[in-house]
Amino acid sequence: MKTLLKTLLPAVLIVSVAACQNQAGGDKAASDGQAAKTDAKGSDTGAAPTLEMYVMSQCPYGVQVVNAVAPVKQQLGDALNLKIGYIGNGAAGNFQSLHGAAEVKGDIAQLCAAKQAPGKYLDLIVCQNKNPRAVDTNWKDCAGQAGMDAAALEACVNGDEGQQLLAASFAEAQQKGAQGSPTMFINGKPYDGGRKTRDFLKAACDATTGDQPEACKNIPVPPVVHAIFFSDKRCAECNIAPLEPRIKNELGGLQVQHLDYMSDEGKKLYQELRGLDPNFKVLPAILVDAEEVVKDTEGYTTLQSYMQPLGKWRTLRLDAKFDPTAEICDNGGIDDDADGKADCADEQCTDAKACRQAKPRTLDLFVMSQCPYGAQAMVAANEVVQHFGKDITLNVHFIGQMEGDTLTSMHGQAEVDEDLREICAAAKYPKNHQFAKYLACRSKDYRNPTWQPCAKEAGMDEKVIQKCFDGEGKELLKKSFAFAESLKIGASPTFLSNNRREFNAVDPASLQKQFCADNPDVKGCAEPIGAKQG
């Protein structure tokens, strides 16, 4: 079952506004007509405001804001300076972007279109955004639909000019500190407002100096919607405050009250909700006005499937798991449930991470094989185990679900298949972390269905992997999915250090730092990863 938390926020990084996040030299990007020439300070003279958007052409959040701003640009015309830039790394001929080579090609096509046809390129991008996975090829048909010269565009996309435009755009995004798609500025100041067309129009109008365009005179005002963000500060995993701007993007008139369970008002509300529904037990929870209030809001259709009735409220379904009346297993000896036993001495805490047996010099990685961030983490994990050698034990587990007897995963059947191969590699080639080499190789091109070259590169017999894939692999993966679920781990990547402490990392240096925080006596901690190579 989908939950709002997993839908509106990325799986790995809980940020205040959802974004495709460029990690440790990752990716981000583009802009409007003269993207490569944007002033470094983001300032423009004159009455028309400047809105800068740094995106990735295949990032769903980048696609969302470009689609939303296109009608604003159409309405305001020259009264809005729109600049779209792209986020990524590398140099000409070797560009890298979070979603792969196809995204790089899409970025180039959009930059070329912006330069060649400033009045038509947004039509091309909106056309491409109907199928963002095909931005590397659909620009050809979209150029025709936008009334552009497809031959001239192709010459730019496949030539030196496109490479130069992308290099300049990547450099500009890096100078701006754009790490997430989208990163936006209006008149040089960070923009963190709503992402609906109405929101961008209002922001542009508010930033206009002098007389405002006609389109600014009748911007609709969203209806007021009241919400209670109900959580518990004792729960480290219950912070739902980052959801507020995302929900406000859907319910523009949102007015939020934050309420903590440990307050008198919080405990009273909890008992009231339990009385309305005995199954209401866990936090966090978000309560909004009744459906007759929210049904006329612009974002109702987005949130409707997550809404459930509860008395005079509608609750928004979250991935809630914290029982505020139960024992908390790591809060300094407090007997939370008043049964005479505190923390790990309480039977409720037997399987809690804080109460698990410590296993020094051990890293457990929980991952989805085709998650962009998980892929980065597997590459980093391989570098770490190569650095520490026999002084570290790496275990890899996979995140997914069982639907009946069917294995499922967030990124589809291709991910399940690769999970199977990777867990087979770990089972058959554990010595000296040989399997980690295969995982790293596959992670560098995880969408490529051809896996055999990576098996060969890692010194594995592909027949051994295939036999496991066809046989015992499914049971191995089922157990792996169940293990992740038992620890309530659903974010890719998630690491456990020494079988206890949970953290996230996607680059070798951060991973080394986290491991060494719990294992400072390990020899490899004194030398940064990569130092031996130069």
pLDDT tens digits for range 357-401? 899 999 999 999 999 999 999 999 999 999 999 999 999 999 999
Return the pLDDT at 506.
Answer: 93
Q: Is residue 346 part of a domain?
A: no
Mapped onto helix, strand or coil, the DSSP state of residue 393 is strand
What contacts 240, CB < 8 A, 6 or more positions away? 5, 229, 231, 284, 286, 318
- What is the mean pLDDT of the segment spanning 31-36? 31
Q: Dump the DSSP string for 330-381.
A: TSSS--TT-SS--GGGSGGGTT-GGGSPP-TTEEEEEE-TT-HHHHHHHHHH
- What is the CATH classification number for the domain harbouring 228? 3.40.30
Q: In angstroms, rounded to a whole number, what is the distance separating the alpha carbons of residues 139 and 110? A: 8
Q: Is the pLDDT at 144 greater than 60, yes or no?
A: yes
H helix intervals, 50-159: 60-76, 101-116, 121-128, 139-145, 150-157
Tell me, yes or no, whether 81 and 207 share the same domain: yes
Tell me, yes or no, whether 402 and 517 share the same domain: yes
Query: What domain range includes position 74?
Result: 18-216
Tell me, yes or no, whether 266 and 386 share the same domain: no
Return the pLDDT at 44.
Answer: 40
Give all strands of the β-sheet with 285-288 in edge-to-edge order: 253-260, 224-231, 285-288, 313-316, 307-310
What digits encode the pLDDT tens for the residues 473-510?
999 999 999 999 988 899 999 999 999 899 999 999 99
- What is the mean pLDDT of the segment spanning 27-56? 54
Taking a C-beta distance cutoff of 8 angstroms, is the pair 108, 162 a contact? yes
Tell me, yes or no, whether 189 and 244 share the same domain: no
Q: Is the pLDDT at 129 greater than 50, yes or no?
A: yes
What contacts 212, CB < 8 A, 6 or more positions away? 205
The residue from 256, 289, 316 where one domain ends is: 316
Q: Is residue 5 part of a domain?
A: no
Return the pLDDT at 93.
Answer: 85
Count CB atoms within 10 A of the CB of residue 391.
15
- What is the mean pLDDT of the segment spanning 127-151? 96
Angle at 220 between CA 216 and CA 222, to 5 degrees: 140
Share of the chain above pLDDT 90, in %: 69
- What is the mean pLDDT of the segment spanning 97-124? 96
**In the chain, how many domains are there?**
3
Return the pLDDT at 531.
Answer: 58
Tell me, yes or no, whether 203 and 228 share the same domain: no
Q: Which residue has the higher pLDDT, 90 or 27?
A: 90
Angle formed by the axes of helices 101-116 and 150-157, nearest 10°: 130
Q: Is the pLDDT at 343 greater than 50, yes or no?
A: yes
C-alpha distance from residue 43 to each of 128, 175, 188, 256 (Å): 29, 15, 6, 34
The residue from 216, 250, 280 where one domain ends is: 216
Q: Is the pLDDT at 30 greater than 50, yes or no?
A: no
Q: Is residue 101 part of a domain?
A: yes
Return the pLDDT at 431.
Answer: 96
Return the pLDDT at 179.
Answer: 87
Q: In angstroms, rounded to a whole number, what is the distance separating the alpha carbons of residues 303 and 288? A: 11
- What is the mean pLDDT of the segment spanning 196-218? 92
Return the pLDDT at 523.
Answer: 92
Q: In angstroms, rounded to a whole number, what is the distance separating the alpha carbons of residues 25 and 128? A: 26
- What is the mean pLDDT of the segment spanning 345-353? 80
The residue from 184, 216, 248 where one domain ends is: 216
Q: Is residue 131 part of a domain?
A: yes
What digits encode the pLDDT tens for the residues 439-459?
999 999 999 999 999 999 999
Q: In angstroms, rounded to a whole number, what is the distance separating the alpha carbons of residues 96 and 375? A: 14
Tell me, yes or no, whether 142 and 172 share the same domain: yes
Q: In angstroms, rounded to a whole number, what is the distance separating the alpha carbons of residues 363 and 266? A: 38
What contacts 448, CB < 8 A, 6 or more positions away? none
Q: In angstroms, rounded to a whole number, what is the distance separating the alpha carbons of residues 254 and 340? A: 43
Return the pLDDT at 12.
Answer: 27
Residue 315: burial class (beta carbons within 10 Å; 0-12, 13-18, 19+): buried
C-alpha distance from residue 15 to each of 184, 237, 244, 502 (Å): 15, 14, 11, 18
Q: Which of these, 387, 372, 277, 290, lies nearest to 19 by C-alpha position? A: 372
Return the pLDDT at 19.
Answer: 67
Q: Is the pLDDT at 192 greater than 90, yes or no?
A: no
Q: Is residue 234 part of a domain?
A: yes
Helix (H) or strand (E) holding 424: helix 413-428
Taking a C-beta distance cutoff of 8 angstroms, is the pair 443, 370 a contact? no
Return the pLDDT at 365.
Answer: 98
Q: Is the pLDDT at 533 greater than 60, yes or no?
A: no
What digits encode the pLDDT tens for the residues 229-271?
999 999 888 999 988 988 887 888 889 999 999 999 999 999 9
Q: Is residue 420 part of a domain?
A: yes
Tell me, yes or no, whether 191 and 232 share the same domain: no
Residue with tokens 């405990």: 267
Q: In angstroms, rounded to a whole number, what is the distance separating the alpha carbons of residues 136 and 57? A: 9
What contacts 268, CB < 8 A, 6 or more positions away? none
Would you state the torsion angle of the CA atoms of residues 279, 280, 286, 290, taken in this order, to the nearest 10 degrees?
70
C-alpha distance from residue 457 to each of 370, 394, 438, 442, 530 (Å): 20, 20, 7, 10, 21
Tell me, yes or no, whether 77 and 200 share the same domain: yes
Q: Is residue 13 part of a domain?
A: no
pTM: 0.58
- Joined together, the tokens standing for residue 405 give 């007897």
Q: Is the pLDDT at 73 greater than 60, yes or no?
A: yes
Taking a C-beta distance cutoff of 8 angstroms, is the pair 423, 483 a contact? no
Taking a C-beta distance cutoff of 8 angstroms, is the pair 492, 368 a contact? yes
Tell me, yes or no, whether 194 and 233 share the same domain: no
3 pLDDT tier (thresholds 50, 70, 90): low
- CA 154 to centroid of chain Cα atoms: 32
Tell me, yes or no, whether 205 and 266 share the same domain: no
Tell me, yes or no, whether 297 and 238 share the same domain: yes
Q: In angstroms, rounded to a whole number, what is the distance separating the alpha carbons of residues 145 and 519? A: 59
Q: Is residue 345 part of a domain?
A: no
- What is the CATH classification number for the domain harbouring 494? 3.40.30.10
Return the pLDDT at 352.
Answer: 78
- What is the mean pLDDT of the segment spanning 178-202? 92
35 pLDDT tier (thresholds 50, 70, 90): very low
**Checking DSSP bridges between strand 313-316 and strand 285-288, what pairing results, if any?**
antiparallel
Return the pLDDT at 436.
Answer: 98
Q: Average per-residue pLDDT in the chain?
A: 88
What digits encode the pLDDT tens for the residues 294-305?
777 777 787 888
H helix intervals, 473-529: 473-486, 508-518
- What is the mean pLDDT of the segment spanning 145-158? 96
Tell me, yes or no, whether 211 and 230 share the same domain: no
Among the ranges given (110-114, 267-271, 320-324, 389-393), the one the predictor scored with the smallest mean pLDDT: 320-324
